Amino acid sequence: MYQFSRAIYRELASHIVEEKFTTQRDESNHLRVLRACEDSVQRLMVDRRYFARPARTLFNDIRMYFTMADQEFAFEVVARNLALADRYFAELPDYVYSENGTPRVCQAMTRKSTSCARQPLTGNDYCPSHQHLNETLEELEEVLPLAA
């Protein structure tokens, strides 16, 4: 996972503005860019289905640390590397554990308003009992066509 975020940072490091934009003294702009890259790649790995535009999100987080002349370059680097990361993560199998080492659990709620504790099926976030909740927008549009 970190090879993608470090690759983005290494390409952008020489273009980062050295000046600090906040009052925090303990973090440099380089560290902020690196953390933003790591957070975006981690979210892409864990939450790919709900991370619609990772390149735009990361670029919006880091663009203030670049001059106007370097922002197009920064966006191209971010978009290229996150597209590679997305393809790589799409090929990986679903793991039994999440990124922090805890077992994956179903995302549904039970009738008693507690989280379902069962293991989700491969490829989605729901266990066999709650598989019906995994309908996509396309499936819903087939059932309920939108009025034009």
Spatial CB neighbours of 49, under 8 Å, sequence gap ≥ 6: 125
Please list the ranges in the chain whose pLDDT falls under 70.
Answer: 1, 19-26, 92-102, 123, 135-148
**What pLDDT does residue 25 have?**
64
Does residue 97 fall inside a structural domain? no
State the total domains in the chain: 2
- Does 87 share its domain with 118? no
- Does 20 share its domain with 85? yes
Spatial CB neighbours of 81, under 8 Å, sequence gap ≥ 6: 4, 7, 8, 11
Does residue 98 fall inside a structural domain? no
End-of-domain residue from the set 51, 69, 91:
91
Calculate the alpha carbon distances from 123 to 34, 57, 86, 96, 133 in Å.
Answer: 30, 24, 15, 11, 14
Calculate the alpha carbon distances from 91 to 27, 86, 107, 123 in Å.
Answer: 35, 9, 22, 11
Neighbours of 127 (CB within 10 A): 19
- Does 24 share its domain with 75? yes
End-of-domain residue from the set 66, 91, 116:
91
**What pLDDT does residue 95 have?**
57
**What pLDDT does residue 40 have?**
93
- Does 8 share its domain with 81? yes
End-of-domain residue from the set 68, 91, 114:
91
**What pLDDT does residue 72 have?**
95
Which residue range is the domain that position 137 belongs to? 103-148
